[in-house]
Amino acid sequence: MAVRYVQTCRLPTPFGVFDMHGFEEPDTGKEHIALTLGDLDSPEPMLARTHSECLTGDALYSMRCDCGYQLEEALRSIAREGRGLLMYLRQEGRGIGLLNKIRAYNLQDQGADTVEANERLGFAADLRDYSMCRDMLEHLNISSLKLMTNNPRKVDALTALGIQISERVPLHVGRNPHNEHYLNTKQSKLGHWFETHQDDDPTA
């Protein structure tokens, strides 16, 4: 078992009133949540996002990445759909942790890209683990996802866990002068899909 279910409560947000389900990794004590909206019993694929924690982008409005913008757009999309799921996974900095992420940002300030910075610190480019998603989906009785992501590795990882991805939904938001190089590196070195270039600078 990757995670065990703990409890559920209501979570009013500007986007809608979600149910928040808490999960815990028995071995590490690490905590994760799932936000759901609408009917969980329908057999139709559910609009969903797996979102890894990004304190700087999600809570501190950092423009160095697109994480906060993607989180908000995912919640808006779920609200528009009237039914959906967001799994919020506690694996900061693509799995290296907050303090190492700050160290990586310092290296980026000196000219390294996001992959080079991780590697100079002795980490792989992406250390995230999605195994907890299988248990979370099983508990919620969700069998098929319309997954909001630009990341092919995420699709491959979830599919390898036996999770059915019926459709990939692009999530292109938040491009700005501060994260242009970061997004280009994700495309060129990590294989992220960017079907169209969006001029969506939030400061414009």
- Provide the residue type at 150 as one letter: N
Cα–Cα separations (whole angstroms), residue 30 to 22, 27, 99, 131, 177:
11, 8, 17, 13, 34
Spell out the residues 6+ positions from residue 85 whose beta carbon is closer than 8 angstroms to its own: 34, 35, 36, 37, 46, 47, 48, 49, 78, 140, 142, 145
126 included as an active-site residue? yes
Residue 31 is labelled as binding a ligand:
no
Question: Are 192 and 150 within 8 A, CB to CB?
Answer: yes
Q: What is the pLDDT of residue 202?
A: 33
Question: Are 92 and 58 within 8 A, CB to CB?
Answer: no
Question: Are 19 and 10 within 8 A, CB to CB?
Answer: yes
Catalytic annotation, pick one of 66, 128, 135, 175: 128
Residue 49 is labelled as binding a ligand:
yes
128 included as an active-site residue? yes
Q: What is the pLDDT of residue 195?
A: 66
Residue 29 is labelled as binding a ligand:
no
Residue 28 is labelled as binding a ligand:
no
pTM for the whole structure? 0.90
Per-residue pLDDT of the chain in tens (204 residues, 90 and over written 9): 789 999 999 999 999 999 999 999 999 999 999 999 999 989 899 999 999 999 999 999 999 999 999 999 999 999 999 999 999 999 999 999 999 999 999 999 999 999 999 999 999 989 999 999 999 999 999 999 999 999 888 999 999 999 999 999 998 898 999 988 888 888 887 778 776 444 443 333
Q: d(Cα 101, Cα 122) in Å, to the nearest integer?
A: 12
Residue 70 is labelled as binding a ligand:
yes
Residue 67 is labelled as binding a ligand:
yes
Spell out the residues 6+ positions from residue 109 whose beta carbon is closer than 8 angstroms to its own: none
Phi, psi of 148 (to 5 degrees): -85, 105
Q: What is the pLDDT of residue 1?
A: 72
Cα–Cα separations (whole angstroms), residue 24 to 18, 34, 92, 102, 119:
19, 11, 16, 26, 29
Residue among 6, 145, 123, 133 nearest 74 (CA): 145
Catalytic annotation, pick one of 66, 113, 126, 135: 126
Residue 54 is labelled as binding a ligand:
yes
Residue among 127, 163, 168 nearest 150 (CA): 168
Residues 134-157 have pLDDT tens digits of: 999 999 999 999 999 998 889 999
Q: d(Cα 74, Cα 129) in Å, to the nearest integer?
A: 20
Domains of the chain: residue spans and CATH: 4-91+128-179 (3.40.50.10990)
Q: What is the pLDDT of residue 186?
A: 81
